[in-house]
Amino acid sequence: MVMSALLGAAMVSSLAACGGQSDQPQSTGTAASSEAPAASGQKTKLSYWTIDRHDADYMKDVIKKFNETNKDNIEVEMTVMADNFNQSVDIAFASKQAPDIFRTNDFSGFVKKGYLLPLNDMMTDEMKQRYGNLLVEESNMVDGKVYSLPNTGQYWRLIYNVDLFKKAGINEPPKTIQEMVDDAKKITEAGKDIGAYGFAENFKNPDSAFGRIANPIGSLSGTSVVDGYNYKTGQFDFAADKPIVEALRQMKQDGSMLPGVESLDIDPLRAQFAAGKIGMYFNHSGEPAVYQSQFPTKINWSAALPPTIDGKQQGTVAIANAGSYIGINHDTPNKDKAWKFLEYIYNLDFQKAYHEKGLGISIVPDVNAVAQKPTMPGIEGFLPTKFDGLYAPTPLGATETKVEGVKIGSVIIRYMLEGGDLDKILADLTARYNAGLEKARAAGETKAKADPSFDPNKLQGSLAK
C-alpha cells in the first residue's frame, strides 16, 4: 500500500468539523440498538451516530432510500450528536449502549479503546484496490488492520476578497509569502476609506491559527514539515517555519492585520470577511457552505492555492480530516448487516452525489475522475488539484501532552506581537518538542518515525486516477 496520508491528530482536532455544531441530538429514530432480530423476517434496527450536521437532511434521505431498498431487512436510524461527540461515544460504550455504526471522529482514540471493528475480511478485492492508495497507518488503519475508509477531506486555500484586491490594483493572489506581505499592505492602504485590512486569522486560538497558515504554505513549499514535524528526520524542526513566522511579524508591524486580531475567533473573522473588511485569510473547503448559509455575503471572493516560501511549488498542500469516515462497533451482534450499510456508503454513486452537492470534496480518485463540479458558490477554488496530497499523521497531538513550557501557537503569536530573537525562539521550541516526542515514543503513544525517502514532490498528482 502506498504511504500517503493526512495531517496529524493535533491539527485535525484543532479544526472545526465542517458540519458545525448543534445543541441537541437529532435522530431519525431510536438510539443505539444492540440486539439481533428475534425471528426471521424481522427488521434489524441499526443505530448510526454522526457528528455532522451540515449534511443531516441529505443523509436522512440517503438512509430512507437504503431502508426502503435493501433486501436484508435492515433499518438504519441516524442520530446527529455534534456536541461532545467523543464523550458521548465513551459513555455509550461504558454503558453498553453504543451505536452499531458511528463516525470515527477520534480515530486513533477509538481504536486504542477497542471501539472499532477491523474491516479487512469484509472488504472485497475490488474495494481494497479502490482504496489502496488511501489506506494509511494511524489514519484509517493500525498495524495493517483497516477500521474505516475515507470519503472527503478539507482542502486548504488562501481565501481572498477579489474586490479588495482590485481596489488595491492587485491582479492575482500572491505566489510567495513576500507577495502576501506586500499585498496585505497595499490592501490596507487602499481600504482605509472603508476600514478594510489586508490579512487576518483566528489568533484567539493560536495553535489553530498558526497551523492554518504554516501547514499549507510549508507543505506546498516542499519543506517536508507539517505541524513542525519533519517526515524525513522523524524530529520536530520549527526552523523550517522561520520565513512564515517572519511574514506574520512583518504584516503585524506594517499594520496590515485587522486590529485586535490576537483575540479574533473564527466566526467573528468570517463575519468581518463577509462584510468586506478583510483582504485574505487561510481556511479549508468548508467555507463555501459557511458563506452560503451562516454568513451570507455580497462580496466577490475566491480561493487559491497558498503562496509558497520562494514561489516554487515543490510539495503538495496537506489535506486535513481525510483519513477516515465511518466505522462499525466492535461489539455489535449485527456486524454483517452493519457492513451492508457501509458498502452502501463507501461506493462511487453515493460519494459522487455527496461531492457534487458540495457537502464535501472527495479525495477518492475515481470519484474525482467522474464527478461534476459542485454548484455551490465559491467551491471551485477548493477543488482538487495535482498540488493536493495526503500526508501521514504527525505526532504533534501525542507530543504536546509531554511538552514542558509554552506551546507552539502561543510562542509564535507572542513573537508576532512583540518580536525577539526568532532563531533562539525556534531552537527552544524544537528542543522542547523533541524532548516531548521522545517521551511520547517511550510511552507508546506514537509510532511516528523517520522516513528518509520521503519526498513531498512525489506526492504531486498522487490523488489522480
436 within 8 A of 52, measured Cβ to Cβ: no
Do residues 119 and 59 make contact, with C-beta atoms less than 8 angstroms apart? no
Q: What is the mean pLDDT of the chain?
A: 90
**Residue 17 pLDDT more than 80?**
no
For 162, half-sphere exposure in the C-beta direction (CA atoms, 13 angstrom radius) is 10
**pLDDT for 334 beyond 60:** yes
Q: How confident is the model at residue 35, as a pLDDT? A: 46
pLDDT in tens, 264-311: 999 999 999 999 999 999 999 989 988 988 899 999 999 999 999 999
pLDDT at 85: 94
Please, is 80 exposed, middle or buried when counting C-beta atoms within 10 Å of its C-beta (0-12, 13-18, 19+)? buried
With bands split at pLDDT 50, 70 and 90, how would you rate the model's confidence at 3? very low
Does the pLDDT at position 1 exceed 60?
no
* pLDDT at res. 464: 62
All cell numbers assigned to 311 = 514561489
Q: Which domains does the chain have, with CATH numbers?
A: 9-152+324-374 (3.40.190.10), 157-318 (3.40.190.10)
The pLDDT of 352-366, averaged and rounded, is 91
The amino acid that residue 396 corresponds to is L
Q: Is the pLDDT of residue 27 over 70?
A: no
Residue 244 has pLDDT above 50, yes or no: yes
Asked whether the beta carbons of 8 and 397 are under 8 A apart, the reply is: yes
Grid coordinates belonging to 441: 515514543
As to burial, measured by CB atoms within 10 angstroms (0-12 exposed, 13-18 middle, 19+ buried), residue 65 is exposed
22 pLDDT above the threshold of 80 = no
Percent of residues, the chain, with pLDDT higher than 90: 78
Lowest mean pLDDT among 2-11, 295-304, 329-338, 360-369: 2-11
Contacts of 133 (CB under 8 A, 6+ apart): 1, 2, 4, 365, 462, 463
The amino acid at 295 = F
pLDDT at 21 > cutoff 90: no
Q: In Å, what is the CA distance from 318 to each residue of 206, 209, 229, 368?
A: 19, 16, 13, 17
290: DSSP letter:
I
Summarised one tens digit per residue, pLDDT across range 309-332 is 999 999 999 998 788 999 999 999
**Residue 286, pLDDT score:** 87
- Pick from 8-17, 190-199, 395-404: least confident: 8-17
Mean pLDDT of the region 54-77? 95
First and final CA of the chain: distance in angstroms?
15
**Overall average pLDDT of the 404-424 stretch:** 97
Q: What is the pLDDT of residue 36?
A: 47
Q: How far apart are CA 1 and CA 363, in angstroms?
A: 16
- Summarize pLDDT for 176-224 with one digit per residue, the tens: 999 999 999 999 999 999 999 999 999 999 999 999 999 999 999 999 9
Tell me which of 2-11, 321-330, 354-363 is least confident.
Answer: 2-11
Dihedral angle, C-alpha 108, 460, 313, 412, nearest 10 °: 0
Residue type at 438 in one-letter notation = E
